[in-house]
Structure 1
């Protein structure tokens, strides 16, 4: 549970309808298996001790007695199994029958949560047998103990700060105002749902979206366990579509009709941080809730397979195409508005044959198409100098021609050499002045061309470069509208590849693929044997690592130690621990020291949940001290 992580599970046991002895045995076996796999919260389906489809057998004293005995047996046999366990059963309380979730912890029965909304339509007839649970918390006798009974129970962990769990049952989630809404407002950040939802055509996707959406709406983890094979098929079929979601993301989903146990790792620290960050989230301390403590063993949750190496890119390939198209449209529409508002006749940008300027040119062409303007009104300027290679020069020229833009070449070598003479810079000294003079000359050239043509300079720098400060102040750092300013380098690569694969033009696609294969470089140092000699990632580190750090620092404000642990899990086999630690330290140092460049960024569209605009997402002093963060890294 270190760093706020907890492993959770949802299981569909193999049951037999009305056989409480068999079903309890299966529940006990599954619970032990889940515990051995490290699960701290374990959820079983609705009425799983008896089976959901018992119908009028729920009236039978024999069945109800057997269900109680099954619960007591489970408590006894699971007393050495650490974890918070939710089990469904029918329970008679003061002459009325309730559909309930029993909550166990180390063999202790902590509480009973009754179902609040009883479906009595279509194929469901729950109101025939059960009564709905009420808001008031009462105490009932189960065996030899008095147990809290009511819908307003919160289970709070004494070993993982902030972990608060609440339960709802099946139809509760489908109601207009689910109990989980009030649970979350009262402090619950993990909701469990014991369900018996049958399968009908189209229901699988609806159910998936319902659970995923509720986890997003409530900024919570949501564990959904539902009935499967074993229930009666007299009129219905149950699929066992167990789901574990966190803040709108599916962590795990069971295949239909296989009675699977699924696992997921929830980040309680992240959920708490999200609730702190979002100002419209207004929790309320309700006196109507009873808070019941529980214990979990203090152990480190395994994180292997929990994190993508590319958090800015959707993991589901089917989602990528629509996401990439949406991002390109956001960039282009932002530029379209700015060009229209300023009555610009042209869009001017430097084109190098590298990734960033390629994406900027693609976006500019898209904006021109949206405006119904000729792409010839794009002026793509190639400015060869000391570090330009034939490969990037050729790609820049061919890309411009294929997109139908105007290509303008301005060789800046003479201008830069004259500038060196003016300031007394030795051209053989390849220092920061040597490099930055070229970047600033290029910016001056395109700014002046924009003035000549009545145009606007389109910035090409990306989010990763801005985070690292890998931009020349008043050089490529400056533009009149930065279309790539909130697009990280790893995402730039995916967007260019998407365009190459979907543009429908073989020659254009081949050029774009060659751009993708070209090492990332500012090309400010002379090439060696015609090949790029200055590779950015050799100097500042791998962009895939930096984008990983960037995402979790800015999106969730995690500590260096937590990000380091997550990166080790995500990049296991790709980078050793020493390498990850080295570049994490470099990232923090550069991020803090280079804030002054981000404090005066040009305008540009936000495309995702992470951005560094001083007018939007990142309000940070330019002279903040990084010492506390570096000290933590050095103590790892």
Structure 2
């Protein structure tokens, strides 16, 4: 008896710089953890500030307010008799660090800075912070006066150390450190640490969870131990959705897994573990040999042989009068980890992101130009999924969501309004509009109307031919020249310009209706405009700059056409929306050119490549870091059985040409939910030029030379 420990980790929906709200959620998670008998609680990375503060981490105010919030936690009665692992930025000797602060009973035990910083993809931590490089070394940190007055301490240790409680040893590992080849948990485990905490700010990306869970299981599979993983959840005010999924693993097996997508602001995960299981798992001679040899090797180097141990006057396991009760509670048994399919991820992730964005922006709802194509259809269905999630949460009695819904739909604070049906809620907060012209087909108009009726959106159907004609007439009046569509004998230049008139007018109309539709319905506020350009069209630049893809936010801007089709197929059955089959059967078309008996505009013909090919080009360009030459050589092996080298070279050169001439469009890309690893988002994720030499003369000549050699073999 006396070896059973209840531990807690959590997912918190923190918001950048929302110090008051973040404090409230931290304290709530501590209260829940204690109610469940936990003696150790770990929270997400930078939970006091929110992870996505970006350049606000360069401001002194951010550090001041972080200490003020930590002071509130130190003073709180809720923070007593539990070991707390709290995340915040700390400045030490004029250097900014991303830190964990370990506190117990109103005292700070240790400030542990992050040692390996995430600095690629969506992350730029080296812009704001410096990694702690002194392994197994601590210094003295002199506390701010406000904290001295609370704790009675003038200085505390800062650095790479572990916490030694009465009955076990706890070590800290921060987010990116788990993903590095020589993770800190390896050496900590060899030095006797039995419980590892990991505080993370990890975003959702399709199919990414497998890697995260595999790494967490592997962290304790060989060396044994208890691993507590905490993650941020929700939209932190940016393009990313942090997908929660807190985890607890013991000796390579998952014993508890939190939800990956949730509207909850606070989710606490607990498990009861037997620390003797860790000691038994480690009782093999080869591990003992390695542990002692590592220590011996360190003794002859400049690096300290062992981790500094900071003593914590607390036993995480129960003893005395509570030991019998705890002994009767068996340790939490291993479970089979759960993964969503990509279709489910699209159903849930962007929907949760949209809800956070709507409730925190103080807007009255969303507006979407609904074209009758699969992209805007997908966007609309994601909004409907959001309504479904909100209604489910309301039915479970979530008071925070009930109050948010009442505020968004314009009900008074004392209103008894409760959304009971997703369609009814959608009708209050979601507005769609079909903006037709003489080039639109009756099929797309009908599909848009049927979809709006099926999900309950407030729908408008209009023709904008008079607006288009007015612009045509103005241009002809000013220039004495009348441009024509290609099917009427016009040039490609004339044809493209005439298409763009329609596209850009739709953007103007979208913002007009978004501002005034609530007024039309005798309601307050205005609407956020949703875009609906997918990742493949963005990569190719197959959209008009400042057309209706220019919006406030875009939930599908980093999702491929292929995955969107799978999502719609899934939603058709899951949401009982048979109309979605019509969208799956339809050919993708922009409907910006006149329809004749001989010609109907087709997206893939216009682009000169298929959506499937675009996905392949995108992954090779971004994930495998291929230029034209290396992309060609890889595709020769991939496509060589179906296509000749000359045909592959043509496709590669066509892609890079259009990618180059359209890259400037990424500078104005609507902020999009990040879901795909090859997103071309120029604003942060994909940092590349937007003015290229589109001839790629040197690169293409190398491709042509290699092609000729292959063809001559």
TM (norm. structure 2) is 0.43
The structure number with the bigger radius of gyration is 1
TM (norm. structure 1) is 0.48
